[in-house]
Structure 1
Amino acid sequence: MLKQHLQFKLSQKLSPQQIQLMKLIQLPTQAFEQRLKQELEENPALESGKEEKSTLEDEFESDFEADTGNEEITAEDINIDDYLSDDEVPDYRTQANNYSPDDDEKTIPYAAGISFNQYLLNQLNTLYISDSDWAIAEFLVGSIDESGYIRRPLSDIADDLAFTQNIYAEEKDVARVLKIVQELDPPGVGARTLDECLIIQLKRKEITPSIELAIDILEKSFDHFIKKHYSKLIQKYSISEEELKEAITEIEKLNPKPGGSYAGNNKMVEHIVPDFAIKIADGNLELTLNGRNAPELHVSNEYNNMLAGYKNSKTKSKTQKDAVMFIKQKLDAAKWFIDAIKQRQQTLYITMNSIMQYQKDYFLTGDERKLRPMILKDIADDINMDVSTVSRVANSKYVDTPYGTKLIKEYFSESMKNTEGEDVSTKEIKKILETVIGNEEKKKPLTDDKLAGLLKEKGYPIARRTVAKYREQLGIPVARLRKQI
């Protein structure tokens, strides 16, 4: 049975322009430059750089309306002042970097190099081995990951050699050739497990009693070693604590990821470009927006001249009318984009300035214990903007401070009350927890229960499970794995 009924619903929809503005606000500096370049390429009415003074001073009274019939379109239908700037200097130009045109461009050169696998193949070419072994060795080198390990079973590699290379080799042959590959540099490359990687490196050193003991421990008692069961190792090998300490010191000198030591690999290097800079001058904080976020943009003078030509034309042909419609669309887009850039700059600056003032004590001292509890709503309420806008600024922007370049969202944290009833930042608690663990006796590391007790004594009553959560967020292992001798 069908029924009809009326329903009233209140909804809010963002216009395409608002959506595009939100996307512009979210972009960090480098991505914003790419977006700017794309807009300049797609809209011929938009140009960058300083605008030449326009000689067209005629005023047009109304917006352009599309020609829907035989009605003639007159030049008065277009108001160029809506699209072009006047003789006054717009605010966005005054925020650009004050560099002269002949200043050297500050770019970072990139050195060419060879890949890690090619580096290993070049070494392989210097060895005297049979053609069949060389083919297996080449396949093994191709199976080495960027950390320097072969993560696949040798049986699988033997099968792949048969199916993909038409090379029939038994698993023992692959294992024999693997020993050859493991002689390449850097030491430890071609290992299948961590203990094998460390043993290969130790065997490349001059054998001493400490190294000999270290090899024996890795070969026969690796599980006790990684779990730091030092008392069991001392009992098993009938050694003193000092002898065990010397052996462990030798192991700690080794590289668990030999592939990472290769300096010639062609990994893409990502450089962070700060969107803001905070400096301290005479005890006061100064905030600046990266000049690359404030480009000089203007509408093309060529389009200006095209409009002037249309105005002065006595006859208005269909082709001219179509051209003016196209020009109007491009002028609208250019004018909106310039306004959007200006609004983006204002939003970024206002948001970051509010964060800077909120965390003034931290930015003046650099002491993370002075970071106040701060959530997105705190800043949104202060600047009368939506929480989502603040989130877009905080999640993707960096600020250059006297204490390093930081992601803005790192300054946000939840709050909890101390024993005096004051709101303190969870970041402050994490910093104190990190300090307490750093000062603990390494022979007897503090358990999470003991850490919770110490924090409570300092005025931060938090549960053991909360201590464990903060410790994991700081990347600090449990007490057993922090033990040293």
Structure 2
Amino acid sequence: MLKQHLQFKLSQKLSPQQIQLMKLIQLPTQAFEQRLKQELEENPALESGKEQTKEEFDDVFEDTQDDFSDNEEINAEDINVDEYLSDDEIPDYRTRSKNYSSDDEEKNVPYAAGTSFTQHLKNQLNTFRLNDEERGIAEFLVGSVDESGYVRRPLSDIVDDLAFTQNVYTDETTVESVLKKVHQLDPAGVGARDLQECLSIQLHRKEKTKAIELAINIIDNAFEQFTKKHYKKLLQKFDIDEEQLKDAIHEVERLNPKPGGSYSGNNRIVEHVVPDFAIKIVDGELELTLNGRNAPELHVSNEYSNMLKGYKASKDKSKSQKDAVLFIKQKLDAAKWFIEAIKQRQQTLFVTMSAIMHYQKEYFLTGDERNLKPMILKDIADEIDMDVSTVSRVANSKYVDTPYGTKLIKEFFSESMKNDQGEDVSTREIKKILETVIEKENKRKPYTDEALSKILKEKGYPIARRTVAKYREQLDIPVARLRKKI
């Protein structure tokens, strides 16, 4: 049986303006500048620079609001608002289908020419004597090199692809012989199929010394024992002393495990971090400033406000004029909202960062990460009476310039853990202490996770072995066996 009933429910919906404001708050400085540039291009009623005659504009704007009621009678005779929108400087040829002039200046932006990593390798193939089949295989192999410099696909797959895509029928032996020639290309190690082959290629290129020859022997014949740092087995296998092994390991450590990354012309985009805030210590006190690029000077266009004045002054208003002025009003509304949104963005950023700075005052005064207090998003949200999501938007994508370097703001947030005295301490503090202990350990006998757990307990941090392992992995520190040195 069907029933109908009323249900009252409270729900909160964000207006389009609120959503746009949240997006503005989330943008870091460089992205914000791009958004600002876009808005200036799209809205002719918005201009950069100092605002002029603001009070006069506001009076006209408010008075004109009343002129747009649905019941307003529109007369045929009116003042011509179209002349406010006209532009006598547009030449006639611009309005035609082929809207360019023979003497137009070329406005195309030149792009910087560069050679891709693949093309760099192909250019080197020209120095080899190769027949047509070999050249086709070599170019295909070079095209299969990834950005790290490796050919990671099995030769059998490459043989199949050559047949299906290049119409080149060959076998694995031929492909491998051509691959050996690719191994002669620069940078050294390019075209290797795995790390062992990459290191071996680089070592064979070096001038032969006793240390190099031993390194080649170790990489070619005892790579697994080398990677697992079974040094005692290596000493026995090659009948050498520790000093000789040290010299060989030193030669291997100087090699490049990713030869593709060393090519400067690989056209990768380098991201530059622009700090959104700056914190300085002045007379023992912290001083916070917002990057000036986040606080542009904007104002509404005087030209557009004059259009409203003309409309207000006219006694009779036609339909076409009303439509034109409605368009003007929409642009002015958008301009005024955008200016207010930027001011609100500035205030939100500054208030949020100021709360974070004062919460972590001890850290910002000393630079010692052990002074970082446990801090979660809700702590700051409660402090400034804002939503957690707003604080998250500020923290996730913003950087602050401090006396100790440029830091990502979200790095100051951490969970808390109790020490042996029942006090809340930051997990960042514990990680820093863990890092310091590992740095000072005897590398001939590195601490196991169990030993590290005992050391931290002695220092007043009762942490389980599994937690130590988790923190060690987050710090990108390998296990004890791989930290071992001779």
Task: Normalising by structure 1, report the TM-score.
Answer: 0.89
Corresponding position of 1:198: 199
Paired position in structure 2 for 1:422: 423
Which residue matches 1:387? 388
Displacement of 1:54:
7.2
- Describe the superposition over 1:244-277 as per-residue Cα deviations: whole angstroms up to 9, x where unpaired: 2222222111111111111222111111111111
Higher mean C-alpha deviation, range 55-64 or range 171-180: 55-64
Q: Structure 1 residues 58-67 or 258-267, which shifts more?
A: 58-67
C-alpha distance in structure 2 between counterparts of 1:11 and 1:294, whole Å: 34
Answer whether contact 2:64 2:312 (CA < 8 A) is retained.
no
The farther-off stretch of 219-228 and 2-11 is: 2-11
Q: Tell me, yes or no, if structure 1 residue 157 matches structure 2 residue 158.
A: yes
Would you say the 8 A contact 2:116–2:265 is kept in 1?
Answer: yes
Shift of the 64–126 alpha-carbon distance from structure 1 to 2, 3 Å rule, reads farther
Paired letter, 2:285? N
Offset at 1:3?
2.0
| Equivalent residue for 1:63, pick from 59, 65, 81 | 65
Inter-CA distance 424–42: structure 2 relative to 1 (3 Å threshold): same
Task: Give yes or no for the alignment of 1:22 onto 2:22.
Answer: yes
Asked if 1:286 is matched to 2:293, the reply is: no
Partners of 2:147 and 2:280 lie apart in 1 by 40
In the TM superposition, residue 56 of structure 1 has moved relative to its aligned partner by 5.5
* Distance change >3 Å, CA 128–CA 70, structure 1 → 2: same
Answer whether contact 1:148 1:260 (CA < 8 A) is retained: yes
Q: CA deviation at 1:51?
A: 3.5
The equivalent residue for 1:3 is 3
Any idea what SS the aligned residue of 2:156 has? helix
3-state DSSP class of the match of 1:224?
helix
Give the equivalent residue in structure 1 for 2:275: 274
**Matching residue of 2:138:** 137
Aligned equivalents of 1:392, 1:55: Cα separation in 2:
34
Q: Deviations over 1:384-408 (max 9, x none)?
A: 1111110110011111111111110
Would the alpha carbon gap of residues 56 and 395 (structure 1) be closer, same or farther in structure 2, given more than 3 Å must change? closer
- Identify the residue that residue 38 of structure 1 maps to in structure 2: 38
After superposition, the Cα gap between the structure-2 partners of 1:65 and 1:462, relative to the gap in structure 1 and judged at 3 Å, is: farther
C-alpha deviation, 1:235, in angstroms: 2.1
Once the two structures are overlaid, the 10-residue window that deviates more, 348-357 or 261-270, is 261-270
| CA distance in 1: counterparts of 2:360 and 2:56, whole angstroms | 50
| Whole-Å separation in 1 of the counterparts to 2:308 and 2:210 | 89
Distance in 1 between residues matched to 2:458 and 2:338, nearest whole Å: 57
Which residue is equivalent to 2:302?
301
Contact 2:74 2:316 survives alignment (8 Å): no
Deviation at 1:55, TM superposition (A): 10
Give 1:404's aligned residue: 405
Distance in 2 of aligned mates of 1:54 and 1:23: 27
- The answer as to whether partners of 1:147 and 1:260 remain within 8 angstroms in 2 is yes
Deviations 1:191-242 (A, max 9, x none): 0010000011111112222222222221222111111111122222222222
Q: What letter is aligned with 1:221?
A: A
Range with bigger deviation, 364-373 or 319-328? 319-328
Deviation at 1:344, TM superposition (A): 0.4
Deviation at 1:419, TM superposition (A): 1.4
- CA contact 2:74–2:318 (8 Å) conserved in 1: no
- Give me the identity figure in percent: 76
2:462 is aligned to: 461
Q: Per-residue CA shift, 1:363-420, capped at 9, x if unaligned?
A: 1111111111111111111111111110110011111111111110000011111112
Q: Structure 2: how far apart are the matches of 1:302 and 1:457?
A: 73
User: Hey, what does 1:334 align to over in structure 2?
Assistant: 335
Please list the CA deviations of residues 168-204 of structure 1 after superposition, one character each: whole Å capped at 9, or x if unmatched. 2211111001111100111111100100000111111
CA distance in 1, matches of 2:10, 2:70: 35
Secondary structure of 2:287 counterpart: strand
Work out whether residues 29 and 274 of structure 1, in 8 Å CA contact, stay in contact via their aligned partners in 2.
yes
The residue identity in structure 2 corresponding to 1:379 is: I
Q: Which residue does the alignment assign to 2:177?
A: 176
Cα pair distance change 1:208/1:54, threshold 3 Å: closer
Mapped partners of 1:459, 1:316: distance in 2: 81
Whether the 8 Å CA contact 1:114–1:264 is kept in 2: the answer is yes
Residue 424 of structure 1: SS of its match in structure 2? strand
Once the two structures are TM-superposed, the CA of residue 62 in structure 1 deviates from its matched residue by 6.5
Q: Partners of 2:440 and 2:270 in 1: how far apart?
A: 36
Alignment of 1:358-397 (within 5 A): 358-397=359-398
Amino acid at match of 2:463: I
* Stretch of structure 1 that moved more, 397-406 or 312-321: 312-321
CA distance in 2, matches of 1:6, 1:327: 43
Q: Distance in 2 between matches of 1:305 and 1:291?
A: 31
CA offsets per residue over residues 295-339 of structure 1, 9 Å max, x none?
A: 111111111111121122232111111112222222111111111
Give the superposition deviation at 1:426: 0.6
Alignment CA distance shift 1:294-1:163 (3 Å)? same
> Post-superposition shift, 1:243?
2.3
Q: Does 1:127 align with 2:128?
A: yes
| Cα contact 1:56–1:308 (8 A) shared by 2 | no
Equivalences for residues 246-261 of structure 1 within 5 A: 246-261=247-262
Partner SS for 1:63 = helix
Displacement of 1:70 in angstroms is 5.1
Contact 1:43 1:330 survives alignment (8 Å): yes
For residues 424 and 313 of structure 2, what CA distance do their matches in structure 1 show? 70
| Structure 2 SS opposite 1:184 | coil
Decide which moves more: 64-73 or 171-180.
64-73
Q: Secondary structure at the match of 1:244?
A: helix
Equivalent residue for 1:116?
117
CA distance in 1, matches of 2:312, 2:14: 37
SS at match of 1:280: strand
Alpha carbons of 1:345 and 1:70: their partners in 2 closer, same or farther (altered >3 Å)?
A: closer
* Amino acid corresponding to residue 8 of structure 2 in structure 1: F
Deviations 1:111-157 (A, max 9, x none): 75322111111211122222321221111111111111001111111
Counterpart of 2:218 in structure 1: which amino acid?
Answer: I
1:289 maps to amino acid: L
Q: State whether residues 115 and 264 of structure 1, in contact with CA within 8 Å, keep that contact through their aligned partners in structure 2.
A: yes
SS of structure 1 residue aligned to 2:65: coil
Q: Aligned partners of 1:321, 1:203: CA distance in 2, in Å?
A: 82
Aligned residues: 450
Q: Structure 1 residues 163 and 378 mapped into 2: Cα distance closer, same or farther (>3 Å)? A: same
* Separation (CA, whole Å) in 1 of partners of 2:337 and 2:186: 58
Q: Say whether the 8 Å CA contact 1:415–1:426 is kept in structure 2.
A: yes
